[in-house]
Amino acid sequence: MLKQVVMFGSMVLAATTLLADDAALIKKVKEAGILALPKDPKALTKLAEQSEDAKLNPTTKEKVELGKKLYFDPRLSRSNLISCNTCHNLGLGGADAVPAAIGHKWTANPSHLNSPTVYNSVFNSVQFWDGRSAHLADQAQGPIQAGPEMAAPKELVEERINSIPAYVAEFKKAYGKDVKVDFKLIADTIAVFERTLVTPSRFDDFLNGDSKALSKAEKEGLDLFIEKGCTACHTGVNLGGTMQPFQVAAQYKFASLGDFKGDANGMVKTPTLRNITETAPYFHNGAFWSLSDAIKEMGSTQLGIAISDAEAGKIATFLGSLEGRKPKVDYPMLPAMTDATPKPTFD
């Protein structure tokens, strides 16, 4: 009987120690500046509505459904071939699985820039690699008009959408009968849909108190992630999304690939690490296909340290816990064109 009591006491002590270790790790994560996505769906929605464009254009069910159609509609491009989903494919982690984005006339991005994921982009403090847009609504205007991307002038987009009665009716339903369907509103509505593309993960579950959400190996990788200094840039609720100096300790191995130099001060938007295991290749120019190799490169380039293969593997194991639960998105049936709808061009 005494032996059973001692064994039971040992089990309780072990469980208590485990919980204490988890609490200490969670505290360490939060002290490093990393925040969890809220567990409560209403709180999560509220967080996504904190952006500047959301305050000007609050989310409604009608706007989300309309924005989804516009997001998937290739007729927003000059050729009728390229949609937002082409480069930010919701089935591919919100990216496109190629080093440099491919656009109009099969043109690769002239700066050899990789398409960032659209998932959780609402939590970025800025948009684009050089941070030139403050929020999603402004960002959505750029690729539609850009020559190497969708190559559609504002006037063409407005004419196409306004020539489709079902679209006009949906805009009136979403914004009121007197709404003017212009280019800005079209982009704003796409952004409303993009704000819903948030992906809570097992990592968030762990930070929110579920000690079993992460494996022992993932917890070890998380601890190493912090110890190595990765949180110098990858912090906040998105573990990234802010402007940071690049090539702090050494020159990036593939610095000569493309002509991107960051913003005027050489700052670059730090990519979110959410769903990072699904969005290869990595870095602004898509030069690395291996996540472990990308981790080692960050060690030398940003931190001035050598990260071993074993250490990179452990950190990569933790990063797998950031694969989030994706919102269910049904591919929409798009409204029919009319005789008045401008035809595609390919020049």
| 88 annotated as a binding-site residue | yes
Residue-wise pLDDT for 291-336, tens only, equals 999 999 999 999 999 999 999 999 999 999 999 999 999 999 999 9
- pTM for this entry: 0.92
Q: What is the largest CA-CA distance in the chain?
A: 89
Asked if residue 104 belongs to a known ligand binding site, the reply is yes
Residues 90 and 327: their CA atoms lie apart, in Å, by: 10
Q: Considering the candidates 49, 52, 149, 158, report the single residue annotated as catalytic.
A: 149
Burial of 304 by CB count in 10 Å (0-12 exposed, 13-18 middle, 19+ buried)? exposed
CA distances in angstroms from 34 to 30, 48, 209, 239, listed in the order given: 5, 17, 15, 7
Q: What is the pLDDT of residues 4-17, one digit of tens each?
A: 444 444 444 444 45
Q: Which residue carries 């061009």 as its tokens?
A: 345
Flag whether 234 is marked binding.
Answer: yes
Query: Is 333 annotated for ligand binding?
Result: no
Rounded distance between C-alpha atoms, residue 83 and residue 63, angstroms: 18
Structural domains of the chain, with CATH: 32-40+199-322 (1.10.760.10), 45-194 (1.10.760.10)
243 is in an annotated binding site: no
pLDDT (tens digit per residue) in 90-113: 999 999 999 999 999 999 999 999
Contact 179, 129 (CB under 8 A): no
Establish whether 62 is a catalytic residue.
Answer: no
Beta bridge partners of 236: 34
Give the integer Cα–Cα distance in Å for 195 and 316: 27
Distance, in Å, from the CA atom of 121 to the CA atom of 127, rounded to the nearest integer, reads: 8
125 contacts 264 by C-beta, under 8 angstroms: no
Residue 124 DSSP SS3: coil
The rounded radius of gyration (Å) of the Cα atoms in the chain is 23
Q: What is the pLDDT of residue 15?
A: 43
Structure tokens at 121: 């982009």
More confident of the two residues 243 and 14:
243
Q: What is the pLDDT of residue 186?
A: 98
Digit-coded pLDDT (tens) for 137-184: 999 999 999 999 999 999 999 999 999 999 999 999 999 999 999 999
233: annotated binding-site residue?
yes
DSSP assignment of 267-313: EEEPPP-TTGGGS-SBTTTT-B--HHHHHHHHIIIII-----HHHHH
